[in-house]
Amino acid sequence: MDHPLTPLLKKDFDFAAAQHLLNRAGFGGTPQQVRALVELGLDDSLDLIVEFDAGDRKRAKAGESEEGETPARDRGPLFVHGDFKPDVLREETPEERAELARAREAKDEETIARLQALRQQRERDDREQLALMQKTWLQRMIETPRPFEEKLTLFWHGHFATGYRTIENSWHMAIQNETLRRLGSGDFQTLVRAIISDPAMLRYLDNNQNRRRSPNENLARELMELFTLGEGNGYTERDIKEGARALTGRTYRGNDYYFDRQQFDPGPKTILGRTGNLDGDGFVSTILERPECPRFIAWKFYRFFVNDAPTLSPEGKECIERLADEFRRNDGRIRPTLRTLFRSRHFYAPENRLAVVKSPTQLVVQTIRSLGTPPREMKSLVDAGDLMGQQLFQPPSVKGWDGGRSWINTATLFVRQNVVVYLVTGRRPKGFDWSDSEMRYDSFPLVAHLRDAQGGLDAHETIRAVASFALGGSIAPERIEQLDRFLDGLDQSGRETAITNDRIKALLCLIGAMPEYQLC
């Protein structure tokens, strides 16, 4: 019998379906790219998108390595290139510390001030490095040939949310980001274990203060509530207390995870009904055996990749249940689970098309990747993300971004509309330090492809094709009418309506201002 995860029929993988897949599993693509997927068919498209590193893995299996080759700038580890330094925010050296102690002793205010100024300089440099990381990651999302890798990294960044504001160490954020990228498509247990060994997370949730004699429950609580089981799903306050004991001693030194045996509580603990001398890894495997875990993760996947409307349809509920089963059957492996989802009939169902509110990052990256606008200034786009409520490396809290409708309010909606204007025309809003961009957007490749693919369209048909593509596959009749009227209004002379680059740009600005442009 059919169920939500039944595979889509091959013939139903049409242009709109392929575009849907590319938007959700990645950040959209040009008409040419969408067309290429249609020609590949669903399964080969999934190979291309989901098994993005198949080539690397094959090489690794055959014992070949990429050693000696320059690491790719557009995929794999992101912050390994020379621009980033692990020690911008280094601790004081023993010499400096001794000097400071001496100065304090001698009440040598000048030396104290000098050492403090050095420290403050390092903090400023660190904030600058974070700003560079934000731009670099955004650029990666725009350029990567493996959009699914970055989309997943972004997903996990919101799931295992850690904010720079609190930890104030850019390199720790970089380490975490690489971990999420490296392990984000692997198996969940490995990922969670890495997270409870991650300096940024350990600092963010105060586990560096989780000591045998004074346990700190913060990480234990969020590990269950936000990372694995969901709030109140099958655990008690007692489990949190016992779990915190299992996490004692997990801290960091410098940039590395450090297990402080002195602070670890070696006594027996009972967590979720399991008793033993559990440590952090034991705690994680205990949690991950619970049925609530796959269900919670399946729900998070569903909201991010399928539909984030406030109410869930009955099919949606069933899909989540099936996806949870699938996740379990795959031993918590993420990639095959999501592959099944992306292959399913439910994923392509009409109710799930244009059912996700684009995150600010999605809005920016998808506009560039699908319309082919110049990327313009990364700094401006990072700033715009901030105005729209999503600053990379700065989720508002450990809950991450709420997503869905919470992205949208009257103020963010204007910024969203204006960002499209900026990308298409290079016009920056007055009063911002957005830099003006002289780079001209050439809409011709987009238009030509859409027009030619459908065989010599007239002006109005072309506009319709462009709008339908930009809006993710469908356009309402009243929108067609509105755009037609606009186009007709431009030519009072009665001559045949001409399609010019400026007109396409104006139309794209209008399309970007349509409420439904916020959906993907």
Partner 1 sequence: MHDAPFTRRLFLQRGCALASLAATVPCFIERSALGMLGNPLLSSQPGVPDHRILVVVQLGGGNDGLNTVVPYGDPEYFKVRPNLALQAPGPSGSGVSLQLDQQLGLGLHPALAPLKSLYDEGLVSVVQGVGYPNPNRSHFTSMDIWHTGRLDAKGSGWIGRYFDATCNGTPIPEGAVAVGRSAPLAMEGNIQKPISFESPELFRWLGEDLHPALKDPYEAINRSGTLPGTGGDTQKDFLMRTALDAQVASGRILAAVAKAPLVRYPETPLARQLRTIGAMIRAEMPTRVYYATIGGFDTHGGQNTRHAQLLRQVAEAIEPFQRDLKAQGNDARVVTMVFSEFGRRVKQNGANGTDHGTAAPVFVIGAGVKPGIVGTHPSLTDLDQGDLKYGIDFRSVYASLLGDWMKAPSEQILRGNFPSAGIVRA
Nearest distance in Å: CB 120, partner 1: 7
Tokens of 202: 């350990």
Rank residues 63 and 314 by Cβ distance to partner 1 and give the closer one: 314
Nearest distance in Å: CB 200, partner 1: 14
Rank residues 278 and 421 by Cβ distance to partner 1 and give the closer one: 421
- Which of 144, 162, 197, 412 binds partner 1 (CB under 8 A)? It is 412
Decide: 400 and 450 in contact? Cβ < 8 Å. no
* Site of tokens 């969203």: 416
- Which of 409, 435, 454, 501 binds partner 1 (CB under 8 A)? It is 409
- Which of 9, 54, 80, 117 binds partner 1 (CB under 8 A)? It is 117
How far apart CA 223 and CA 197 sit, in angstroms, is 12
Decide: 119 and 382 in contact? Cβ < 8 Å. no
**What is the per-residue DSSP string for 398-411?**
TT----GGGG--HH
For every residue of 287-299, which 3-state class applies, written as one string? HHCCCHHHHHHHH
Torsion sign (Cα): 410, 416, 420, 425: positive
Q: In Å, how far from its chain's centre is CA 45?
A: 21
Stretch that binds partner 1, among 4-12, 72-80, 87-95, 110-118 (CB under 8 A): 110-118
Q: For residue 26, which of 321, 345, 362 has the smallest C-alpha distance?
A: 362
Nearest distance in Å: CB 133, partner 1: 17
DSSP 214: B
Is residue 168 part of the contact set for partner 1 (CB under 8 A)?
yes
Is residue 435 part of the contact set for partner 1 (CB under 8 A)?
no
DSSP 516: G
Is residue 463 part of the contact set for partner 1 (CB under 8 A)?
no
- Which of 38, 408, 459, 480 binds partner 1 (CB under 8 A)? It is 408
How, if at all, do strands 250-253 and 256-259 pair? antiparallel
Rank residues 456 and 489 by Cβ distance to partner 1 and give the closer one: 489
How far apart CA 287 and CA 271 sit, in angstroms, is 8
Decide: 193 and 247 in contact? Cβ < 8 Å. no
Is residue 162 part of the contact set for partner 1 (CB under 8 A)?
no
Is residue 427 part of the contact set for partner 1 (CB under 8 A)?
yes
Query: What residues numbered 321-380 form the site for partner 1, per CB under 8 A?
Result: 354-357
Instruction: Tell me which H or E stretch contains 445.
Output: helix 444-453
Residue 357: phi and psi, rounded to 5, are -80, 125
Nearest distance in Å: CB 514, partner 1: 5
How far apart CA 43 and CA 40 sit, in angstroms, is 8
One-letter identity of residue 289: E
Nearest distance in Å: CB 427, partner 1: 7
Is residue 165 part of the contact set for partner 1 (CB under 8 A)?
yes
Is residue 166 part of the contact set for partner 1 (CB under 8 A)?
yes
Is residue 309 part of the contact set for partner 1 (CB under 8 A)?
yes
Nearest distance in Å: CB 327, partner 1: 26
- Which of 214, 410, 492, 493 binds partner 1 (CB under 8 A)? It is 410
Is residue 414 part of the contact set for partner 1 (CB under 8 A)?
yes
Rank residues 43 and 481 by Cβ distance to partner 1 and give the closer one: 481
Residue 380 has, within 13 A of its CA and on its CB side, a CA count of 25
Q: Which residues bind partner 1 (CB under 8 A)?
A: 108-113, 116-117, 120, 165-166, 168, 218, 309-311, 354-357, 386-387, 389, 391, 396-398, 405-406, 408-414, 417-418, 421, 425, 427, 429-432, 478-479, 482-483, 485-486, 489-490, 506, 509-510, 512-516, 518-519
